[in-house]
Amino acid sequence: MKKLIYAMAIPVIAFSMQACSGNKDAKETADSLNMAKDTTTNVAETGGIAVAEEDSKFATTAAAGGMAEVEMGKMALEKSTNAQVKEFATMMVEDHGKANTELMSIAGMKNITLPTTVDEDHQKKMDDLSKKTGADFDKAYASAMVDGHKSTLDLMEDEAKDGKDADLKAFASKTAPIVKAHLDKIEMIKKSLK
């Protein structure tokens, strides 16, 4: 009976929070849903989340950023004529796509709700990028990638150092050097575009 109540409560909470979140973006909605879950490792009994709030926020932030990297990479593949930018964009789609899949798998095991679309900040960047063409697009894309990878590297390093959940901590530790390599590469590309 207890399982049935929890099983019914989670969708009701999720639906009502999404309905009330007209001004919230996808990441904020996911964070709200995760906060509403019972924090316990006994997920089978409670339908609850199996990680600390900081770890679930890391997961939602990483997921939103990862989705944005893939989407902006796809945009760059369509809009850019620069071979270096296209090569980097291909790497974004592949590497962040793999990381997103791995993070979704971990989140599924931990009952963490991840955003299903990019957050408002990333959407704004994507909208701004979509209006640019040629060299202006390449420069704006490179700048967005430098900024994004700096914040993502900080996020991964913080989780690798301070995270409570072993699986998310391991994910962050494994992902940080890849993000650092991306950052180094896009900084070189950005300099070459001047």
Residue 31's pLDDT is what? Answer: 54
pLDDT tens-digit series, residues 86-131: 999 999 999 999 999 999 999 888 888 888 888 888 999 999 999 9
Residue 23's pLDDT is what? Answer: 41
Residue 2's pLDDT is what? Answer: 39
Distance CA 87, CA 32 (A): 37
Single-letter residue type at 146: V
Distances (CA, A) of 44 to 11, 12, 71, 75, 128: 16, 18, 34, 41, 44
Distance CA 112, CA 129 (A): 31
Low-confidence ranges of the chain (pLDDT < 70): 1-50
Residue 132's pLDDT is what? Answer: 94
Residue 105's pLDDT is what? Answer: 93
Residue 119's pLDDT is what? Answer: 86
Three-state DSSP string of 80-137 = CCCHHHHHHHHHHHHHHHHHHHHHHHHHHHHCCCCCCCCCHHHHHHHHHHHCCCHHHH
Q: On the CB side of 91, how many CA atoms lie within 13 Å of its CA?
A: 14
Distance CA 146, CA 186 (A): 6
Residue 58's pLDDT is what? Answer: 93
